[in-house]
Amino acid sequence: MHRKFVVQLFAEEWGQYVDLPKGFSVSERCKVRLVPLQIQLTTLGNLTPSSTVFFCCDMQERFRPAIKYFGDIISVGQRLLQGARILGIPVIVTEQYPKGLGSTVQEIDLTGVKLVLPKTKFSMVLPEVEAALAEIPGVRSVVLFGVETHVCIQQTALELVGRGIEVHIVADATSSRSMMDRMFALEISSDAESSVRFFVITLHLFYTWTQRDFEKS
């Protein structure tokens, strides 16, 4: 078992602790804490449909004007969900405070998803999500995408890794208001033993899965 620590700063505006990116300095007095992560040192393996779940995080209408390249990540998210439907991979979707921020954008087709849940915390790892994962036998990996990279995506990745689940973040299907926030978050997530992939790599994995199934038939 390997132990790592994440440094977190208490954000007054959000009323909770958030992770500090590597190299970030604090010039004012504030509350910080160290959060231990106990993780098994393993090499991130290839994705297989039978042991994978897709997490789509907060792709909501009110974020459209604020998030960098939002249209691009919607396009990639659409293709990810199409691939999930073809391969029979469960999909879990969250919406951050939908009463105020709206529902998932219309371009994202939620046909056949396992869960669509509202949330008011950053992480997608809600009790209902944990219960859903427990119902799916042999879950080993989560493919994670959505917004914002430095808040909800990062917190979700760290919590899943801490629970022993491999996390594969699709880099071109996640973004933030600031590209610097996005960059630091992907770096922290990668350091925490999660994998940061681009859609083209995930697409190649789709092809590999399909070929395996074809050869078995």
Residue of 179, 198, 178 whose CA lies nearest to 190:
198
The DSSP output letter for 16 is: E
3-class state of residue 172 by DSSP: strand
195-210 burial, b at 16+ Cβ within 10 Å, e below that, comes to bbbebebbbebbeebe
Element (H, E) at 146: strand 141-147
Does residue 148 sit within a domain? yes
Distance separating alpha carbons of residues 211 and 217, to the nearest angstrom: 10
pTM recorded for the entire structure: 0.73
Q: Dihedral sign, CA of 169, 173, 176, 181? A: positive
For the stretch 66-95, pLDDT in tens is 999 999 999 999 999 998 998 899 999 999
Under 8 Å between Cβ of 3 and 37: yes
Under 8 Å between Cβ of 26 and 32: yes
Does residue 12 sit within a domain? no
Does residue 36 sit within a domain? no
Does residue 6 sit within a domain? no
Does residue 23 sit within a domain? no
Catalytic residue among 119, 121, 213, 216: 119
Residue of 131, 99, 101 whose CA lies nearest to 115:
131
Does residue 30 sit within a domain? no
For the stretch 101-160, pLDDT in tens is 999 999 999 999 999 999 999 999 999 999 999 999 899 999 999 999 888 998 999 899
Expressed as residue numbers, the domain containing 198 is 49-215
For the stretch 175-213, pLDDT in tens is 998 777 777 667 765 655 555 555 555 555 555 655 555
Catalytic residue among 56, 57, 152, 181: 152
**Domain tally for the chain?**
1
Question: Is 119 annotated in the active site?
Answer: yes
Does residue 37 sit within a domain? no
Tokens of 5: 């620590």
Give the model's pLDDT for residue 65: 94
Average pLDDT of the chain, as a whole number: 80
Does residue 5 sit within a domain? no
Give the model's pLDDT for residue 158: 87
Catalytic residue among 19, 58, 172, 181: 58
pLDDT band at 96 (very low <50, low <70, confident <90, very high): very high
**CATH number of the domain encompassing residue 147:** 3.40.50.850
pLDDT band at 171 (very low <50, low <70, confident <90, very high): confident
